[in-house]
Amino acid sequence: MKNTVFTGAATAIITPFRNGQIDYEAFARLINWQVEQGIDAIVVCGTTGEASTLTDEEHREAIRFAVETVNGRVPVIAGTGSNDTAYAIELTQYACEVGADAILLVTPYYNKATQKGLIASFTAVADVSTKPIILYNVPSRTGCNILPATAAALAEHPNIVAIKEASGNISQIAELASLVRGKMDIYSGNDDQIVPILSLGGKGVISVLSNLMPAETSQICHKFLSGDVKGSADLQLELLPLVNALFCEVNPIPVKAAMAAMGYGENSLRLPLTPMESAHEEMLLALMREQNLI
């Protein structure tokens, strides 16, 4: 069995902005609060971190900054995936050099790939990585789906240890779980499917919700894993309206509004993303007030 990167909840952390630039003061406060609240890991420069519109310099600096700020308290997982495998290799090598604990590799987007191409691309990155790799399957955003048999083939690589499953297809994830037992950990990539994926042997979640509620999101996982299945399910269902509000517009538009309301950066995104529609924002903020977040 390969080593597990983390068990529980990892926050797919936002990249706070101020005046169009990364707000490192807010970023440090957010990272430290996450750790203090008991989050199990931090994912930097993922989808929620707006990695696709960070410059190369910003992407590298955000990874380095997160590693230094966390300072070994929890694992830091660096998003280094790209539709250009050569660039993904460069970013992965950099993340390894500056001390990231693991790598998150999204499937190629726009140009996409065949299943054969996915195996070749992920293998090329895994071959040069000195840190464990978590694959990231989110076909709704990339147009590219890692099929269970493909994931099982990739699980044979010693550096590929896990997959973040955000396909939303529980039947596919069940098939995946049946093929990779003992060879690849599975994390939910959707906050509304944490308990179902844990029930299939999943290790936890890479979460958007945990930006706002790190302790509670971690509790959903740890309650389940300690045998309190009902308590875990009850907590997930209690938070479902908030989860739905966080995805009523494309991520990370709603969570950026939420975190700005909590004092972590401005409610600003980089084009083509724009701030949340006012009616949706009012609904989100009302749900946050119900949870005493603001």
Residues assigned a catalytic role: 136, 164
Task: Decide: helix, strand or coil at residue 103.
Answer: strand
Q: State how far the Cα of 210 lies from the Cα of 37, in Å rounded to an integer.
A: 10
Classify burial at 124, counting beta carbons within 10 Å of its beta carbon; exposed 0-12, middle 13-18, buried 19 or more. Answer: middle
* Residues 154, 157, 158, 159, Cα dihedral to 10°: -60
Query: Hey, how many other C-beta atoms are within 10 angstroms of the C-beta on 3?
Result: 8
Contact 257, 284 (CB under 8 A): yes
Tokens (6 digits) for 275: 């701030």
Q: Token pair 């600003």 is at which residue? A: 268
- What single DSSP character describes residue 258? H
Classify burial at 7, counting beta carbons within 10 Å of its beta carbon; exposed 0-12, middle 13-18, buried 19 or more. Answer: middle
Q: State how far the Cα of 91 lies from the Cα of 172, in Å rounded to an integer.
A: 30
Residues with Cβ within 8 Å of 182's Cβ and at least 6 positions away in sequence, in order, are 1
Q: State how far the Cα of 201 lies from the Cα of 184, in Å rounded to an integer.
A: 11
